[in-house]
Amino acid sequence: MQSGITRRKAVGSLGAAAAGVFLGRPARGTVPAPTAPVAVGKCTTYQPSELLPVLEGMFDKLGGLGKLVKGKTVAIKLNFNGGSTVRLGYHPLGDSHWPNPNLICAVMSLMTKAGVKRVRLLECAPIPWTTPFEEYFLEANWNVQDFISSAPIVEFENTNYLNSAKKLSRLTVPNGGLLFPAYDLNHSYVDCDVFVSIAKCKDHGTTGVSTVLKNLFGLTPLLAYGNFAGKWEDNDLVAGIDRIRVLHQGAMQPAFGAPAELDPKSPRDDGYRVCRAIADLSAARPVHLAITDGVTSMSGGQTPNPSLTFVKPNWIVAGTNVVNTSAVTMAAMNYNPMGQKGEMPFMHCDNKLRLAEQLGVGTCDLSQIEVVGRSIKEVAFDFKTLREKRPAGFDGFGGFGGRRGRGGAPGGPGGPPDGAPGGRRPGGPPDGAPVAPPAAPPTGREN
Amino acid sequence: MAPLSAWIPMRWLAGPLDISQGEKKKEGLSAKSREVLQRWLDPSTLEILRGTPVNCLVVSWAAGLPADAEQPNALAPLLAQAKTAGLSCVGMVGGGANKAAAVASARAAGLAAVMMEGEVPNAGLPILPIAANPHLAWNSSSPVLVAYNNVWPGIASQGLNSQDWRPGRESQASGPTAEPWIDSNGWFLRLAKVYAPSKTCWLLFEPPGSPNVILADAYRRAIADAASFDGRWVVALDDALRAGLAQKEPSAMETWKAIAGTLDFFARHSQWEANSPVGQVGVISDFSGPNETIGTETLNLMVRRNVPFRIIEKSKLAAAPLTGYKALISVDEAMPDPAARKKVIDFVQQGGALLASQAWKGAGGTPTGAAHPRLDLRKLGKGKLAVCKDASPDPYMVARDIHVLLSRANDMSRFFNLSAFLSAHTAAPGGESALLQINNFSGASRFSVSQVTVWFPQQYREARMWTLGSDTPVALKLEPENTGMEVQVPSISPYAALEVALQKLA
């Protein structure tokens, strides 16, 4: 960072072109939808002996981590959706719907090797502010020490709260925003030099898929955007565990002084709203490095329930542009990242990638994205067909407001489909056998 | 006849006294209920007990009502048949009764014991002291103590979560975390084990009345909730079930079979009663006077949060070894005596944590500077001292805060895919194996009771599960995870007992 420029100013000025800094080549500052290479790696286990070389190779192909993190404070937005004690069968959380802890630690280790100064692990965790964020890791049965020993300085912050800051930090959406003009977030999303999104690739009821882009929805603190935001009880716990009333349904406006939405008369449909909030956030808080964990995952939804299927796609996708990376991830899931509303997986929602593209964050056109490392065709895993085969009510298209009423799927009758999770480790899950890549659009330029 | 401590009791409502008491209830007594109370006088109704572990009938004997006089005669045929069947009969004597007369008539009628408050000199038969929970006659010579004022175990009210939200629902929130509120008597039985370790504690409580429909699993939970904490529920059936059993209705017989099977299960595992509670948190209190509410509620909420704990009776604190403890709770109004206080301070200075009432305000230490809405956090020696800011701390928060103060890094178990549940964690004598009894209160939800994982920090090598209705245990798969072992449990409905061992289980 240049002296005299605060991180807050830097975030505001970087805008959507931030990713270009890492590339070592000019960002397409004048191009509304930038593009940057996206690396695809084949990885079959979470063993450090496999993860480290695969990730290192991928980062090298992106230009090397050193240029990005040396001497810097890196903030990593984790992807802790659902409760910390809810599992898909016996699978540890990092195997099914949270990014795997070994993968996160491997990324941190490689950052350390590249000279990172400090790593801050961030998430809006539904626990009291008096409970250290580390306790949430422990509750999930993660070994905190593994993280602490992966970087010179490691800090944990639950971004649902103010913590050491006196107020939330306002991040304005360049060019006005789609749903809100600005978002009030925990200071940690401003007080960092490099911002990283690490997420699992999953199906997602409300917005089609959940990857590094959807992960940004979780930047919004429950303090301002939670179901009962503003109705603080006299304790240390935010009431409500999600943002359904404010962001999904638009049944109430944000609290705690956060800006109101742009158009209160806009649709109250979460298929309209959530994807716009995500697109806004991707523009307001640019991502410098996005990593999708697709080594193991689950198909059919974002939060475990017995109807979902444990899968083993065996790949990792990483890039410096969050929309580009999300687009390649979608293609590797056999979805069309440019799909329109009504097309799988955007059956009931707008395409958040296209919305982010409109905001100039990055293109979702695979023909414009350089894929490095493995080709999409080589690694593609067919989430789409698995989803299409799911019985009615388990199609992963549940929502929380507007179109299908409260709750949505899952909840239909019948038991889990064949191939539902069995034993934890070997056997059972569909493995990462290659599948036909998306028929359309083209799979992009591949190296 | 089995020794008193081995009695497995069942409340046997029948006869004019129970009819009279039913009529005095606010809601009155329906014709059907009256008929059932009459019908259960028939000795043939005892047939349902054949082949079950129930070996003791608790009958109403006297209550200070006119019907007292009729009751012995009305019960005579039933009692005679019970005696022939080898059953012990206990007469319940209410507070308004002439106790001496009731004891005399009980003796004359051949009852094996009476159950009542207070004592009668030269009774000539055992008197099982009965008292309101938690004020039992701990020092009584009786091997059995009986408590009333207990709760029907179960989810008390539905919690509020975001998906349940609709306008006006806020008032139904059951707790600050929206977790279901579970009623359990576990905490009291833990206390009983401390005050009267060699005695058996019987719990009196009845199923919720009409219009509640009590399913077999609810009965099984009621039995298991007591048995998991080494207590014994005096089995009491609801009106509808008793009516059905009198008619030998198949559904009623099925429910009864489930109840009897559950009683049998715990009778066959009575060796578990020799186990000792494990826990790194010690709760120090005298549980009486001004400390009764905060002390007992803290126990209740520690059970509810599934934080293993042990109880340290304040009067014995000075002599109690504090080995194995990592955190202590002392929220009584007054400080322990100086020797005990020094012991606690030493414990903290050596690295322990103490969550304490304001009485400990002057205990020293330096503020950590960390903000907290309820606790004044201090560092004392190598340890942590957390003094409650409120003179009357909220026990729910005490239970929550001690878990954070201790840190989950010290968890003795972690649970996955379980929501509304309670667990009782004990160690077998010698400490070679541990027993984790889990009561699942969440009903038959397929989202919450299957494919449960329990993590233990120990490197256990063998795990097996006992379930109600099964004579043999099921071997469970163990997977190494996070320096410990995870045990994979297929399902828990409504109860499971996990036995884990570092070596092969006997």
Does residue A3 lie within any of the structural domains?
Answer: no
Mutate to test the interface with B, among A90, A100, A135, A147 (most CBs of B within 10 A): A90
User: Does the structure show a pLDDT above 70 at B159?
Assistant: no
**Cα separation of A329 and A297, whole Å?**
13
Sign of the torsion angle spanned by Cα atoms A224, A227, A233, A236: negative
Distance between A197 CA and the closest CA of chain B, angstroms: 25
Determine, yes or no, domain membership for A423: no
Q: At what angle do helices A101-113 and A48-61 cross, to 10 degrees?
A: 50
Distance CA A205, CA A245 (A): 16
Look at residue B442 in the predicted model and tell me its pLDDT: 84
Q: How many CB pairs under 8 A join A and B?
A: 83
The predicted pLDDT at position A86 comes to 93
Residue type, B290: P
The pLDDT of residue A411: 26
β-pairing, A289-294 with A315-319?
A: antiparallel
Beta carbons of A138 and B166 less than 8 Å apart = no
What is the distance in angstroms between the Cα of B404 and the nearest Cα belonging to chain A? 6
Q: Which residue of A lies nearest to B487 if distances are taken between CA atoms?
A: A90
Distance CA(A78)–CA(A218), nearest Å, equals 9
Q: What is the mean pLDDT of residues A54-75?
A: 98
Name the pLDDT band for B491 (thresholds 50, 70, 90): confident
Residue A185 lies in a domain: yes
Question: Around Cβ A145, how many Cβ atoms within 10 Å?
Answer: 11
Q: Which pLDDT does position A398 carry in this prediction?
A: 63
Distance CA B504, CA B489 (A): 19
pLDDT tens digits, B427-468:
999 888 999 999 999 865 444 468 999 999 999 999 999 999
Distances (CA, A) of A347 to A12, A303, A361: 34, 19, 23
Please give the backbone phi and psi of residue B292, each rounded to the nearest 5 degrees, phi first: -65, -50
ipTM exceeding the 0.85 mark: yes
Contact A130 B372 (CB under 8 A): yes
For chain A, how far is it from start to end, CA to CA, in angstroms? 33
Smallest Cα distance from B162 to chain A, Å: 6
For residue A405, tell me if it sits in a domain: no
- Residue of chain B minimizing CA distance to A126: B177
Chain A residues whose C-beta sits inside 8 Å of any chain B C-beta: 85-87, 89-90, 92, 128, 130-132, 135, 138-139, 141-144, 227, 233-237, 240-242, 244-245, 305-306, 400, 406-407, 415, 421, 423-425
Percent share of chain A, pLDDT over 70: 79
Q: B371 — phi, psi (to 5°)?
A: -75, 140
Question: Do A131 and B483 lie within an 8 Å CB cutoff?
Answer: no
Q: Which helix (H) or strand (E) holds B400?
A: helix B395-406
Nearest Cα residue in chain A from B161: A240
Q: Which of B163, B373, B397 sits opposite A406 (nearest CB)?
A: B163
Q: Are strands B309-313 and B281-285 parallel, antiparallel or unpaired?
A: parallel
Which residues touch B186 (CB under 8 Å, ≥6 apart)?
B225, B228, B229, B303, B422, B424
Range of the domain at A84: 13-388
Alpha carbon distance A288, A322 (integer Å): 8
What pLDDT score was predicted for residue B36? Answer: 95
Give the pairing type, strands B375-380 and B383-388: antiparallel
Distances, alpha carbon B340 to alpha carbons A7, B88, B320, B330, B337, in Å: 54, 45, 9, 11, 5
For residue A404, being part of any structural domain is answered with no
| A2 occurs within a structural domain | no
Residues of B in contact with A306 (CB under 8 A): 446-447, 450-451
Q: Is the pLDDT of residue A291 over 70?
A: yes
Q: Are B129 and B117 in contact (CB under 8 A)?
A: yes
**pLDDT tops 80 at residue A27:** no
Tokens of B18: 């129970």
Q: Is residue A310 part of a domain?
A: yes
Confidence of residue A231 (pLDDT cuts 50, 70, 90): confident
Of A358, A290, A12, A321, the C-alpha closest to A173 is: A12
- Taking CA atoms, what residue in A is nearest to B170? A228
B56 strand-pairing partners:
B9, B88
Tell me whether residue A431 is in a domain: no
pLDDT band at A13 (very low <50, low <70, confident <90, very high): very low
- In tens, the pLDDT along A237-285 reads 776 778 999 999 999 999 999 999 999 999 999 999 999 999 999 999 9
More confident of the two residues A418 and A318: A318
Closest chain A residue to the Cα of B404, Cα to Cα: A131
- Kind and range of the H or E element at A328? helix A322-332
Number of compact structural domains in chain A = 1
